Amino acid sequence: MRLHSTALALTALFGFALVSGAQQQPQTPVPDAPAPQLPNPLTNVNGPITPGLGSGNDQTSPTSSSTSPDQQAAPSSQAPTSTTPDNFQTAPPEVLNAADIGTRITINTTEIVVPVTVKDTKGKLVAGLTWRDFKVFENNTREPIRVFSVDPAPLSVAFVVDQSLTSDIMAKVNSSLGAIQGALTSYDEMAVFTYSNGPQNLSGGFTGAQSARVPFLLSMTKSAGTDEQVPINSGPLAGCNIRENGNCVDPNLQTGRSTGSGSGVITIPKEIHTLNDAILAAGKELSTRPKERRRIIYVISDGHEYGSKATIKEVVHYLQTNNIAVYGTLVGTSAAWGEGYLSKFHLPFTMYDNVLYKYIAATGGQADSERNVNGIEKSYADIAMDARNQYTIVYASHESPYDSKFRKIDIRVDRPGLDVTAKSGYYPNALMSR
């Protein structure tokens, strides 16, 4: 009992000492959080600040106009009320495009695309060239090459078949038409045109080159052709070129030299070959194709031209503006040796013997002259391969995009013995890069 009492006394005495020590130490008070303070007012602001409009009197509030600048600048202890509409509760404003508001957006570009064909002295395609091997000149000024590509391009081909050929030549062309589809791939597309006295679009647009519709379209291009006759304009064997119900019209009823009135000589009727109109119709259809595709007009003809409404200059201008190249297989009399050179000499008031080479030279195409069926069929594959496997050069012109004058292009390769073929120039338009 005495030990227990002693322990209690020590415990009480130790606890009293601890409490006394704790009361003697000074206690530091916990600091309060800083009181909120309003920002200093802006001295150069007259009125509320509206996002997107700046500062000024609020036109929507009737009381803002009567408030002095000092009162507006004085801080207020009340929370500011926002007059900005809630975008989540109100409908978004109607977005109109350029066509709806009558605005035309024009973007001018000076990048020119030039497909280039390079062959050796044997007529074989030359591969392995780089952009360092080429030099591009426009109007005798060298231009830097921006893009250089050797990738094969898909073709958009408009076939133009001459139905005014003689019957023997037309029979060879009819037999070779089945090889056209074999020269193209599934990535290509084609349209079919014919002409004799005016062009005709048989396909009504472009279709897949390997579709089942192509053989039917090619069968529609077959024709009997025309018969070769000896021109006789005098004597008892002279024919009458104006007839009615199988009888010759009386010259007294219809005057003119074509009926022999006055002179007694019947002039020879002129042949009609509307090649210019046919190429122009095919070019208009090709101008709607995407610029990523290579636009080709493939003509199967002897190149004769007479009776077209469009001139050669007008058609070439349209082709060079829309980046369209003309390729062709010359048949008939134009396929004879030396005929291409003699066709350059034209007598006034006579039919053009061959104008197809003019389109080919101006647009950077290729031509092949064939006189038999096997050669005509082989030319389809050769020309399609040449058109697909070209070097594509893109450069930026130094000329103004608002200048509509013709610009000459000269492509050179720093290697001897190579034949470089490209378009001779172009006319700028609103879509120069097409």
Please tell me the predicted confidence (pLDDT) of residue 214: 92
Q: In 181-323, where does DSSP find H-type helix?
A: 214-220, 275-286, 312-321
Question: What is the residue extent of each domain of the chain?
Answer: 104-152+389-434, 154-224+272-388
Q: How many residues are given for the chain? A: 434
DSSP 131: G
DSSP labels for 258-292?
A: GGTTTTS-PPPPPP-B-HHHHHHHHHHHHTTS-TT
Question: Would strands 325-330 and 367-369 be described as parallel, antiparallel, or unpaired?
Answer: parallel
Check for a shared fold between 104-152+389-434 and 154-224+272-388. no
CB 318 within 8 A of CB 363: no
Please tell me the predicted confidence (pLDDT) of residue 22: 47
Indicate whether this model's pTM tops 0.75. Answer: no
DSSP labels for 334-378?
A: GGSTTHHHHTT---TTS-BS--HHHHHHHHT--EEE--SHHHHHH
Terminal C-alpha separation, the chain: 117
Please tell me the predicted confidence (pLDDT) of residue 12: 52
Provide the residue-wise pLDDT of the chain in tens; the chain has 434 residues. 454 555 555 555 555 444 455 455 556 676 777 777 777 766 666 666 776 666 665 554 444 444 444 444 444 445 455 454 444 445 555 656 656 666 666 656 678 899 999 999 888 999 999 999 999 999 999 999 999 999 888 999 999 999 989 888 999 999 999 999 999 999 999 999 999 888 999 888 899 999 999 999 999 999 888 876 655 555 555 555 556 665 666 554 444 444 444 445 555 567 788 999 999 999 999 999 998 899 999 999 988 888 899 999 999 999 999 999 999 999 987 777 655 545 555 555 555 678 898 999 999 998 888 889 999 999 999 999 999 889 999 998 888 877 788 999 999 998 888 999 999 999 887 544 44
Cα–Cα distance measured from residue 80 to residue 49, given in angstroms and rounded to the nearest whole number: 12
For the record, the structure tokens of 335 come out as: 């396929």
Please tell me the predicted confidence (pLDDT) of residue 370: 87
What does each C-alpha distance from 365 to 191, 208, 232, 320 come to in angstroms? 18, 23, 39, 12
Q: Tens digit of pLDDT for each residue in 38-55?
A: 777 666 666 667 766 666
The verdict on domain 104-152+389-434 having CATH code 2.60.40 is: yes
Please tell me the predicted confidence (pLDDT) of residue 179: 92
Task: Find the helix packing angle between 167-176 and 373-388, rounded to 10°.
Answer: 50
Cα–Cα distance measured from residue 358 to residue 388, given in angstroms and rounded to the nearest whole number: 22
Please tell me the predicted confidence (pLDDT) of residue 83: 52
Q: Tens digit of pLDDT for each residue in 404-417?
A: 889 999 999 988 88
Q: Domain 154-224+272-388 belongs to what topology?
A: Rossmann fold (3.40.50)
Look up residue 323 and give its amino acid. N
For the record, the structure tokens of 297 come out as: 């007009």
